[in-house]
Amino acid sequence: MYLNGERLAEALKKAKREKYGLIASNVAHVTIARAVIQAADKVGADKIVQISLGACEHVAGQHAKATEVPKIERLKLGAKVLVNTIKEYADFYKNCGIGIHLDHTPPTDENLQFVDWLIDNKMISSILLDASELPLAENIKATRKVAEKAKANGMILEGEVGRVLGQEEDTISAETVYTKPEEALQFVSGTGVSMFACCVGTNHGVSKGRDQELQLGLIKECDDLLNANGLGHVGMVLHGASGLSTETVQAALATGAFKFNKDTQYQLDWAGVMVDYSLKNYDMIVRPFHTTPEEYMEDKKRFDPRKIDALIEKAIQKQAEFMINEVHAVGKSSVL
Ligand SMILES: [Zn+2]
C-alpha cells in the first residue's frame, strides 16, 4: 500500500518506537522497483522506494536529452514514469507500506523548481533536500523553507549535516565530514525535518567496510541530544549502507539509526546476474568456434531479455528480503 507523507511519518515513528529499521532502496528500473516491493510484501514490512535526480533523468530517456528538452521537463517526465509505476505496484500489494522518497537533492534553482512541482502535485511522501555543502546557517535556511512547504502539503523532509564519502549522482565527496551532535540539534530544531542524515563514516558506493572509520556512537549522541530536547520523533538516517556487515547494520540500528539507504548492492546484484548468465549462455548469440555458420543458430529461448530480467528480479528480491530481515522489520508493517 502506498504511504503518503503523513502515513510514512507514522510508519517511521512506529519503527523508531519498536526499534526496527526501514530499508530505503534506490530504483531507476521497473525490475528493481518490483523486486523490492515484492520483498516487502512477502515478509510484511514497510519500505521506502527512492528515486533520484539521476534516476528521473535516466528514465526520461536519451532522446529527450539529445533533443535538448530542458532538464526540468526531463526530471518531471522521469518522475511521473517512476512514481506512477511504484504506486501501482505499492497499491497492488497489501502486506507492505511503501513510501516514495526523493534522494539527495542539492538546492539549485532548477532542483528547487522540481521539488516545488513534486510538492504541489503531492507526487511523493518525502524528500532529502541536501544542502550539506553550504555553511550550517545557510543549510538550515534552505532546508527550513522546503520543510515548511512540504509539511503544509502532507509531505516530510530529510536533511543532512556533514558529508558522506564517495559519489552520489553528480556530487563527489573526497572526504568524510562527521556530523557534530550540537550541529544536529541546531539543524533539526531550526528546520523541522522528520529524518536526519547523520554522517558517521560510511560511504556511497562499494566499500565492504574497508578503509572506513565508522563512528556509530555519533548516531546515539545525536539521537540522545534530540530526545533530550523534545525532538524524539526525528529519526536518524544512515547513508551508504550497502556493503556494511550484518554486525555493523545491527550496531547502527541499536544506536538509533532507523532508515538504511541501499543502492549499490542492487547494482552489484544486477551486474552479477548479467555476467553470470552471459558467461554460461555465451553461445546463445555468439557462434562457437567449433561450429560452422551453417550449423549455428542463435537461441531465442535463451536471449529473450525477459529471461534475464526474471533472474535479476529474483536475485534482487532475495537480497531485499535479507536486508529487511537484517533490520528486524519482518512482520512489522504499519498496514498489517
Ligand atoms: Zn546518500
* Distance in Å, CA 288 to ligand 1 centroid: 44
* Distance in Å, CA 98 to ligand 1 centroid: 19
- A 10 A CB-CB count for 70 gives 10
**Tell me: the pLDDT tens digits for 10-22?**
999 999 999 999 9
**Tell me: the pLDDT tens digits for 299-330?**
999 999 999 999 999 999 999 999 999 999 99
Report if pTM > 0.75: yes
Residue at 189: amino acid letter = S
Average pLDDT over residues 104-133: 97
Pairwise CA distance, residues 245 & 251, whole Å = 10
Q: Which domains does the chain have, with CATH numbers?
A: 2-326 (3.20.20.70)
Q: 122, 8, 114, 2: which is closest to 53 by C-alpha?
A: 114
* Distance in Å, CA 89 to ligand 1 centroid: 24
Average pLDDT over residues 221-235: 94
* Distance in Å, CA 176 to ligand 1 centroid: 12
* Distance in Å, CA 34 to ligand 1 centroid: 21
Pairwise CA distance, residues 112 & 43, whole Å = 36
C-alpha grid cell for residue 248? 555493523
* Distance in Å, CA 32 to ligand 1 centroid: 18
Enumerate the β-bridge partners of residue 7.
Answer: none
* Distance in Å, CA 2 to ligand 1 centroid: 23
Full DSSP string of 152-188: HTT-EEEEEESB-BEEETTEEESS-BPPPHHHHHHHH
* Distance in Å, CA 240 to ligand 1 centroid: 6
Pairwise CA distance, residues 283 & 298, whole Å = 8
C-alpha grid cell for residue 35? 523486486
* Distance in Å, CA 261 to ligand 1 centroid: 7
**Do the beta carbons of residue 47 and residue 25 sit within 8 Å?**
yes
Q: How far is CA 257 from CA 95, 144, 224, in A?
A: 24, 22, 12
* Distance in Å, CA 229 to ligand 1 centroid: 26
Average pLDDT over residues 204-228: 84
**Tell me: the pLDDT tens digits for 161-207?**
988 777 676 666 667 788 999 999 999 999 999 999 999 988 887 76
* Distance in Å, CA 44 to ligand 1 centroid: 25
* Distance in Å, CA 239 to ligand 1 centroid: 4
Pairwise CA distance, residues 2 & 90, whole Å = 5
**Residues with C-beta atoms within 5 A of ion ligand 1:** 239
